[in-house]
Chain A
Amino acid sequence: TQLLEQSPQFLSIQEGENLTVYCNSSSVFSSLQWYRQEPGEGPVLLVTVVTGGEVKKLKRLTFQFGDARKDSSLHITAAQPGDTGLYLCAGGRSNFGNEKLTFGTGTRLTIIP
């Protein structure tokens, strides 16, 4: 059972356009991370949010954690070809005394020059 559903699964847009990727769950998370993965490489952390309603900006990327800590969004302004990759959200939850990170289904983003 996949706890974190991402949408859209695939997104292909022109350079310069804006986009939003969503990460949704019915479960509450103590923290939410976004990673980007390029072909042949492992995921690389972009941001961690831990407070409901928290908004973080990283240059042209804006991340928001939902008030109820069940969902998150990633907004990219003026997309560039370098933004191409697989975007993964990952939620942290306590599990029998251990904190476990569960990854979402992924959004494959292609920016067309």
Chain B
Amino acid sequence: EAGVAQSPRYKIIEKRQSVAFWCNPISGHATLYWYQQILGQGPKLLIQFQNNGVVDDSQLPKDRFSAERLKGVDSTLKIQPAKLEDSAVYLCASSLGQRASYEQYFGPGTRLTVT
């Protein structure tokens, strides 16, 4: 079974530039998550999708971050404009459903460096 795919794996941009990350979840997984993980810390949920609808985006900085999941499969996360504090690993995860006790399968992440 193919895992969660993310691209790119690494990205370096200057502040005020824009960047986009792509995620392809495990086939059949209805729930998709985007997390931000600052170096050495636990992941922080940015946004959760159920199929192509947003379930929770309470911690998404909506003035600069946006995400979409068209057709309920792939998803993109965009940052525009980027700030220095956005330097982090952005993880995508998917699961069969919304229950917190379900296993979340994570991709390898995209390491973003903002200079």
Contact = CB atoms under 8 A, between A and B. Distances in A.
Nearest to A10: B40
Interface residues of B, number: 23
A88 B35 CA distance: 14
A93 interface: yes
A75 B67 CA distance: 38
A43 B106 contact: yes
B55 to A, nearest CB: 5
A33 B93 contact: no
A91 B100 CA distance: 8
B92 to A, nearest CB: 8
B100 A92 contact: yes
Nearest to B106: A42
Given A92-B100, A99-B98, A106-B40, 11 more contacts: A31-B101, A43-B104, A43-B106, A90-B42, A91-B100, A92-B99, A98-B56, A101-B104, A103-B42, A104-B42, A106-B42
Interface of B: 4, 35, 40-45, 48, 55-56, 91, 93, 98-101, 103-104, 106-109
17 contacts: A31-B101, A41-B108, A42-B91, A42-B93, A43-B43, A45-B104, A48-B103, A50-B101, A88-B42, A92-B100, A92-B101, A93-B100, A101-B100, A102-B45, A105-B41, A106-B40, A106-B42
